[in-house]
Chains A and B, each alone.
Chain A
Amino acid sequence: GENVEQHPSTLSVQEGDSAVIKCTYSDSASNYFPWYKQELGKGPQLIIDIRSNVGEKKDQRIAVTLNKTAKHFSLHITETQPEDSAVYFCAASDTNDYKLSFGAGTTVTVRA
């Protein structure tokens, strides 16, 4: 089955700086890579996703890059704000079955 590894496990950044989280996956059949943000006491919220037919996608301060050859994808948050503090999860799936395999999560703390 799919194995997704996520690094780092914790990340502390100064407000206004950038944050980068990296994930690798093992199954070359995976073609859908979403990122979720989970705040305390809430369910995961989809913040951005990328599919295997593109290498980069951007939505305001958030961007995701995908390298299918190397089997890794990354989340980039620019101009971080205190409200970006949360746990972020990467995931991967094959759109034949849509079953998501999740990374272990990254706790991001933005220092004011």
Chain B
Amino acid sequence: SAVISQKPSRDICQRGTSLTIQCQVDSQVTMMFWYRQQPGQSLTLIATANQGSEATYESGFVIDKFPISRPNLTFSTLTVSNMSPEDSSIYLCSVDFWGGGTDTQYFGPGTRLTVL
């Protein structure tokens, strides 16, 4: 399996500011993803973080609001820009891990963001 860490684990931010969330995995992985989980809701895919190229965003999410970096096969960042209270959510990193002849998706512990 893959062990994923995220920093920060939680933060409280003022509206109009930006926060960068880091995701580190203990193995090299091809595919990394960022999800958002609004309070009491399910998970929604924001984007696929591609190593060496721009991220691929899902409908409703744009690069200006959620810029993503993927400098290598074990690390990615998600920035939540110009935040508003509606951005208060849990942001989750996941990876597709290949092992034992199959691939499996694992999630990090999440970053709990509150925007005031």
A residues sitting closer than 8 Å to B (CB atoms) are 34, 36, 41-46, 49, 51, 89, 91, 93, 95, 97-105
Chain A positions within 8 Å of B103 at CB level? 95, 98
Total A-B contacts with CB atoms under 8 angstroms apart: 51
Chain B positions within 8 Å of A34 at CB level? 104-105
Cβ of B109 and Cβ of A102 under 8 Å apart? no
Docked complex Cα distance between A104 and B58 (Å): 18
Residue in A42, A49, A97, A102 whose beta carbon sits within 8 Å of that of B104 in the complex: A49
Chain B positions within 8 Å of A95 at CB level? 103
Chain B positions within 8 Å of A97 at CB level? 48
Docked complex Cα distance between A105 and B105 (Å): 18
The size of the chain B interface, using a CB distance under 8 A, is: 23
Cβ of A99 and Cβ of B48 under 8 Å apart? yes
Shortest CB distance B47–A (Å): 10
Cβ of A43 and Cβ of B92 under 8 Å apart? yes
Cβ of A46 and Cβ of B104 under 8 Å apart? yes
Q: Known contacts being A98-B96, A99-B45, A102-B43, is A42 close to B105, with CB within 8 Å?
A: no
Cβ of A42 and Cβ of B109 under 8 Å apart? yes
**In B92-116, which residues have CB < 8 Å from any A CB?**
92, 94, 96, 102-110, 112
